[in-house]
Amino acid sequence: MGVLNVTPDSFSDGGQFLDFDKAVAHGLAMAEEGADVIDVGGESTRPGADPVIVQDEVDRTRPVVAALVRQGLKVSIDTMKPPVARAALDEGAWMVNDVSGARTPGMLGLVAEKEAAICLMHMKGTPRTMQQQPEYEDVVQEVGEYLKERAEAAEAAGVKEVWIDPGIGFGKTTQHNLDLIDATDRLAAFGWPVLVGASRKSFIGRITGGEDNPAPAEHRLEGTLVAHLRAAELGARMLRVHDVAAHRRALAMNSAWA
């Protein structure tokens, strides 16, 4: 899954694809590089990000989704807001990728009605507050129980294709992120396909550059690849990535031993 942020403020590529033509060109380029799905988002969820009003988010994402669907691409819409999801689904999007686990009333019913897929992600708190000293008794247990509860709610609402995602970096310390990636097999054992998104996230910068001198987003590719290959080995079925070509090469090499 290639990341396409149509936002001014995403943490690693904010502002690069706010322009319609640039966004569509980047989506097509990622598909060319081997992305099976393009994840279009119109609101940054980086720690501390300000919420975006609904109409702005629709205006940013809808034309891009429509253009990519017209080109034959499989598109997901990264949103927590049912009206934004509806606009994208009306344009032919395949999946709603909801970082809040589809807790907004009406979201699950909408996805069921449109016969779309959903990705349910775990987040502790909101993007504004989530990195303020997150604590868990047992992070894997807690995230697993949450995802199971949300996936069962989605199925009860009539959604036919459900994906789950531990939400790397969403209300988690470095150690929580490492533990969750290492527990991909335990999450996969629930039976729903698992999506993992560690791409360029700040814990990778802290590990590879050090706590005092974290590596900036543009120097996090190697760390991202190692984290994602580990998740893939443990059963992740989709990886949400900014650097598609590098991931295709790394995955091809990794599978040479299979």
**Whole-number minimum distance, CB 10 to ligand HH2, in Å?**
3
Nearest residue (CB) to ligand HH2, 9 versus 155: 9
Q: Which of 60, 62, 200, 240 is catalytic?
A: 240
240 is catalytic: yes
- Cβ-Cβ contacts under 8 Å for 111 (sequence gap 6 or more): 85, 89, 96, 102, 117, 118, 154, 157, 159
Please give the residue ranges that form the binding site for ligand HH2 (CB under 6 A): 3, 5, 7, 10-12, 41, 44-46, 78, 97, 99, 119, 121, 165, 167-168, 195, 197, 240
201 is catalytic: yes
Nearest residue (CB) to ligand HH2, 5 versus 131: 5
Nearest residue (CB) to ligand HH2, 218 versus 257: 218
Give the number of other Cβ atoms within 10 Å of residue 42's Cβ. Answer: 27
Closest CA to 41 of 113, 98, 111: 98
**Whole-number minimum distance, CB 125 to ligand HH2, in Å?**
15
| Nearest position to ligand HH2, beta carbon | 197
Q: Which of 172, 201, 206, 220 is catalytic?
A: 201
**Whole-number minimum distance, CB 97 to ligand HH2, in Å?**
5
**Whole-number minimum distance, CB 54 to ligand HH2, in Å?**
17
Catalytic residues: 201, 240
